[in-house]
Structure 1
Amino acid sequence: MAAVAEVEVVVAHHERATLRVGDVFLKVDAHQARTDVEVEAMAMAPIPTPEVLWRKPPVLALGALPGTALGRLGEPSTASSAAWVAAGAAARMLHDAPLPPWPGRSLDELTSELDGECAWLVRNGVLPSDVITRNRRVAEAALRPWTPVFTHGDLQLSHVFVDGDEITGVIDWSEAAKGDAMYDLATLTLGHAEHLGDVVAGYGTDVDLDVIRGWWSLRSLLGVRWLAEHGFDPTAPGCEVDVLRSLARR
């Protein structure tokens, strides 16, 4: 009998699940609009993405990318400085591409969502109120008008794959939209501020570090409740709660 590849559960919660079977990833998403965005965004992106093998809603089958993830939040990255520079260059290439036809979140929507999450965090005693208040002030730097670009929308370092010093591809495009370039750069370097200089060098243009820090605070404030409710631990060392505590001390 031929060997059968094991089924690995990559991620699973009540909104979506991703399974790996050999070199095939099966993404199951109850919201087909997200999969529509993912497929169209990958077709438009000027940087390497996974191959779409087939699609039969609610399942999308993607080919595995070569290489390994740039790193993971809460863990030291073993990738080279040159790989981080290459990640910055890939982000710039994406941001210089033609805009996708669908919108992203508006400034008013983000501000309203942020205020709601800060109130929830205070009400539930998740963090000391002074840490939340300080981060809400830091986040204000990100809440300004921006020129929209083609953003990945969830450019976590675990979504960027490298082989040596080269980018082999970027995964998980369901949040792609028109958005702020600095949000992608902040997401990429969240919890890994030591590599921000490399990313900026690869990006190749002026970056407002206060805006980057603002997005670090904003993304973390928005993420704590969602992560906890979906089976993740934002209090793990080096993750969102640690990011918020660190930014509050600045």
Structure 2
Amino acid sequence: MDEVEVVVAHSERATLRVGDVFLKVDADQARVDVEVEMMALAPVPIPKVLWRRPPVLALAALRGTTLGRLGGPSSGAPAGWAAAGAAIRRLHEAPLPPRTGRAGRSVAALTAELDDECESLVTNGVLPADLVTRNRQVAEAALRPWAPAFTHGDLQIAHLFVDGDEVTGIIDWSEAGQGDALYDLATFTLGHEEHLDDVMAGYGFGIDLDVIHAWWSLRSLLAVRWLIEHGFDPFAPGCEIDVLRSRM
């Protein structure tokens, strides 16, 4: 029998790997509905859906490996990172999906959420005030009008697989929908700033570096408390707190 590997698990969902099959367990069936719908619309390689029996979605494993993980070393030649950039561009230029995704929150809603989170981080002593204040200033550049694109919404480096210079698949589409394209690029390069130029070479024009930097700060500020509450460590080397410190 194949060994059962826990890929990720927290109170909202869990992903297990058994041999060549990934099993996603999610009690929120609406979220799974979105994932299946968005994968069907995405013009990039995706994992094959093997079967679905709520609350479980079974997906075929993808060929290749990820380019790294947040808080860990990155891998892959520049060509692999450029291929990722080109695939992300294809997604962003695709016809718009019928829903708004995580990357499509309104500027007003995002500003209110960010200000509340910054206040909480300082008031509860999670982060020093100067670190929060500086990154809140940097984050301001992301709070601007943007043209909607087909976005993944959670394009962490661990969600894109490559084999050499070929993208073999992108996973975890439950946050996908219309949104700010630069949110995806910032999420993908978070903690791996040294590969941003390679990704940009594949993606092409239309990248505002100030906005990318802003999204790094904004996304990290919003993630810290959630990560702590769900058993993750944003203080680990190379993770969200280090990203915030790099803006100082």
TM-score interval (norm. to shorter): over 0.9
Aligned to 1:194: 194
* Whole-angstrom distance in 2 between the partners of 1:142 and 1:129: 21
RMSD after superposition: 0.8
Aligned to 1:170: 170
SS in 2 for 1:53: strand
Give TM-score, length-normalised by structure 1.
0.96
Letter in 2 for 1:48: P
Residue of structure 2 aligned with 1:37, choices 34, 42, 52 = 34
Q: CA deviation at 1:206?
A: 2.8
* Whole-angstrom distance in 2 between the partners of 1:33 and 1:80: 38
Aligned to 1:90: 87
SS in 2 for 1:125: coil
Equivalent residues in 2 for 1:1-250, closer than 5 Å: 4-104=1-101, 105-247=105-247, 249=248
* Whole-angstrom distance in 1 between the partners of 2:211 and 2:192: 16
Q: CA deviation at 1:210?
A: 0.3
Q: Please identify runs of 4+ aligned residues in structure 1 that moved more than 4 A.
A: none
* Whole-angstrom distance in 1 between the partners of 2:26 and 2:111: 27
SS in 2 for 1:28: strand
* Whole-angstrom distance in 1 between the partners of 2:241 and 2:59: 32
For structure 1, which segment, 21-30 or 104-113, has the greater mean C-alpha deviation from structure 2 after superposition?
Answer: 104-113
Q: What is the percent sequence identity of the aligned residues?
A: 74
For 1:37-63, what per-residue CA distance to the aligned partner results, in whole angstroms no more than 9, with x for missing partners? 110111000000000001111110000
SS in 1 for 2:161: strand
* Whole-angstrom distance in 1 between the partners of 2:202 and 2:20: 30
Structure 1 gaps of 5+ residues are none
* Whole-angstrom distance in 2 between the partners of 1:38 and 1:106: 22
Letter in 1 for 2:222: L
* Whole-angstrom distance in 2 between the partners of 1:142 and 1:60: 34
Q: CA deviation at 1:32?
A: 1.1
Structure 2 gaps of 5+ residues are none
For structure 1, which segment, 106-115 or 235-244, has the greater mean C-alpha deviation from structure 2 after superposition?
Answer: 106-115
SS in 2 for 1:200: helix
